[in-house]
Structure 1
Amino acid sequence: MNRSLMFKWVWRFKSDNTSLWARFVKAMHGNDDLLGKSKIGNGLDTSFWEDSWNGDIAFKYLYPCIYALETYKKINVASKMAHENLGISLRRIPKSGVELEKFNDMTNSLVGFQLPSMIDRWFWSLSGLGVFSLASVRKFVDDHLLPKVYSKFCWRKIVPIKVIILAWKIKLDYLPTRFNLSRRGLDIHSILCPICEKHTETSGHTFFACSMASDIVCNIALWWDVNPPHITSFEEWELWMSSLNLSSNHKLLLEGVIYTAWWFIWNFRNKLVFGSTSPSKAVLFDDIVARSFQWCKHRGRFKFNWLDWLKTSYLVTM
């Protein structure tokens, strides 16, 4: 949205450059040449070679060999089209071969072209009406910056929102793991996992493939009496969850337990990296069981007690 609003000011600056604030900006910072010269025009002031006056790429990039022969590089469309022949302003007649072929192609593309009787104007190409809109800019920015997600993320209320956001970031690989930080150009002393110190720290490794994460998931699988998964990514975890022969409510509970485990794994990692003392792995699984019971029971409004939760979680009465 911020980028879209910035585009809005640029659009106003270019389309209404006679306003008071536009004249003030020019007086303080000079002309607007740094904003580019891509104007949709009708030939009065638009450059024949450099501007996208025809709604296409500039002619000097389409026909570079003909542009090299032009003696007046900044000739506008009106002056060029007023010539009896497009080759009059060239320093010599195009030779046979590629030059002649490109010249004929350019000439044929302008057959029947007529200049409308209106001044040059700025045209917003992101919308069909040619008028600026914040929605068109925001969609354009989102399409180019946001990652492509091919499956929807379910925002469960079984755990706190902070835990759900963590799971969402794991899915999109948005967490500041050492590998992601190094990709952004940060100079870090190591990209190895601080827990096992054997493999590169990525989201897939930290929450699925790391030895500590694998042990926790195996303990959860034994606790819930399901087959232990062999997964290395969020997508594989989703497939494993969908393959379990559990009711929808029990799958929701198990999902809350897994989310809780991820929350404790990430906190354990942060304490290991930034804390003054090393955290203990011995109580990690017990903490996951206790905290998941509190969150799932009270946030999910299920009726089961602590003993049932410890014995056979997938058979608790709800």
Structure 2
Amino acid sequence: MVFMVVNHDDVVDGVRSCCIEYDDDVLTLPKDEGGLGISKLSDVNSSLLLKWAWRFKIQQGSLWRNVIEAIHGGRNMWMFLPLNRSLTGCWKNLVSSINQMQIGGKQVEWYFKGKPGDGVYLRFWKDRWLGDTLFKDRWPRLYSLESNKNCSISDRISHSGTAFLLGPGWNVWPSTVEEISEMNDVNYMLNNIRFVGSKDVWKWDEEGSNHFSVANVKRMIRLDRNNNMTHLFKWESWIPLKINIHLWRAEMGRIPTRLALQRRQIVISSTICVLCDVNDEDCNHIFFHCGFAFGVWSIIRRWCKLDYVSFDDMEGLLKFYKHIQGPKWAKKLIRGIVMTTCWAIWNARNKKVFDNVSPKVQEVVALVKSLSFLWIKNRSKFKSVLWKD
């Protein structure tokens, strides 16, 4: 028996009327979770864009990659992917879209991890090939002295017998205590690694899988969206409302950083962070990766006796207090101090942008301590708490 559809439009309208009653997050849930398993078009587009980034990394020496490098490459023109911001075109749109993508609270570039062989293709400072942090962020003072910031591993490392050491290549040789300390850290790290001698390769650094595929990326994006339906932020009563709202907006990436303003088509002179003048200013950078913010957090952690605690993104910041040993009131105090610190860093950034006042780490720390003391004494029941440096 053969059934014929008399009016195709009626069938389409019927299906549309049924589906429109559901939220798109329900429709795109997997079938075993009560959804229809329909892929979101935005997830498909993001996965396909990311495939171009993967191809750029693994297809060393290919013609199309050489063309991209010739047009967009340069001494300081690229971080994760090469981009000449003064040019327009599809490559600029592709790189800009990828730079805005996050999966699991991390920038997608974090999932690209190099496995060094001969060290010819992997960049020493700007590719993640050892650990979870780029070397330029791990040792920022040495990076600022580097003469060739796009150098490969083989260009940067010299042999001393059986050991590997940082070779010469500085604009100014490291001389301060901090610079020498960072250089010793790098040399110690290099002494504990071995190069296999084969070609460098790239791995997709996902837990349980090193294989990149569009389907795999779509699955990760979908899981991340489902996991992010609940917010981690908790309001703190002894902190003023404006501080609570500030961190609530920061969790959602809704504070007006320079990259956020650029995404809203607002014309600004530069997207570089005004506090460190090193990297583009987004939410994670201004609060965690900026050298100025790192200095503030280092002192605050020592003051609160939290040297064992570390966080490098907003998710880690909002979760860390769960690991604090002590009574509930101690966690409330620490959470409030952390929220105040975020607000103080943002306030220092605004003074630099609008009043051209160069902030100092010690001044921001002093502001955090004084405001926290004021609010804890006047807005909470913990009036017996003593503030000590």
Using a 3 Å threshold, how does the CA distance of structure 1 residues 53 and 220 change in structure 2: closer, same or farther? closer
Name structure 1 gaps, 5 residues minimum. Answer: 1-46, 58-122, 129-135, 312-318
What is the correspondence of 1:1-318 to structure 2 with a 5 Å cutoff?
Answer: 48-50=7-9, 55-56=14-15, 126-127=20-21, 148-304=228-384, 308-311=386-389
Please tell me the residue identity of whatever aligns with 1:300: S
CA distance in 2, matches of 1:279, 1:186: 26
Q: 1:210 to 1:50 in 2, by over 3 A?
A: same
Cα distance in 2 between the residues matched to 1:52 and 1:181: 44
Unaligned runs of 5+ in 2: 1-5, 28-39, 41-224
Structure 1 residues 228 and 179: CA distance shift in structure 2, 3 A: farther
| Cα distance change on mapping 1:260 and 1:53 into 2, 3 Å | closer
Return the offset for 1:168. 0.8
Report which of the two has the higher share of strand. Answer: 2
TM-score normalized by the length of structure 1: 0.51
**Counterpart for residue 12 of structure 1:** none
Which amino acid is the alignment partner of residue 388 of structure 2?
L
Residue type of the partner of 1:169? R
The root-mean-square deviation of aligned C-alpha atoms, in Å, is 3.1
CA gap 1:303/1:197 in 2 versus in 1, 3 angstroms: same
% identity of equivalent residues: 27
* Distance (Å, rounded) in 1 between the aligned partners of 2:339 and 2:251: 12
SS at match of 2:387: helix
Please give the TM-score of this superposition, normalised by the length of structure 2.
0.43
SS across alignment from 1:246: coil
Contact 2:233 2:318 in 1 (8 A): no
What SS does structure 1 have at the residue aligned with 2:378?
Answer: helix
Query: Which secondary structure state, in structure 2, belongs to the residue aligned with residue 309 of structure 1?
Result: coil
Higher relative contact order (CA 8 A, sep 6+): 1
1:150-203: CA deviation from partner (whole Å, max 9, x where unpaired): 444211102001100111111111111111122233332221111001112111
Q: Deviations over 1:208-265 (max 9, x none)?
A: 1212212212111211222253321011123432112122101111111111111111
Q: Is contact 1:173-1:203 (8 Å) kept?
A: yes
Structure of higher CA gyration radius: 1
The verdict on how the C-alpha distance between 1:127 and 1:213 changes in structure 2, with shifts beyond 3 A counting, is same
SS at match of 2:266: coil
Q: How many residues align?
A: 186
Q: Give me the whole-angstrom Cα distance separating, in 2, the residues matched to 1:228 and 1:193.
A: 28
CA contact (8 A) 1:218 1:228 kept: no
TM-aligned CA distance change 1:276 to 1:152, over 3 Å:
closer
Question: Structure 1 CA distance, aligned partners of 2:230 and 2:239?
Answer: 24
Taking structure 1 as reference, are residues 178 and 219 closer, same or farther at Cα in structure 2, changes over 3 Å only? same
Give the whole-Å Cα distance in 2 for the aligned partners of 1:279 and 1:213.
11
CA, structure 1 residues 239+154, in 2 after alignment: closer, same or farther (shift >3 Å)? closer
Residue type matched to 1:309 in 2?
W
Using the alignment, how far apart are the partners of 1:281 and 1:239 within structure 2? 25
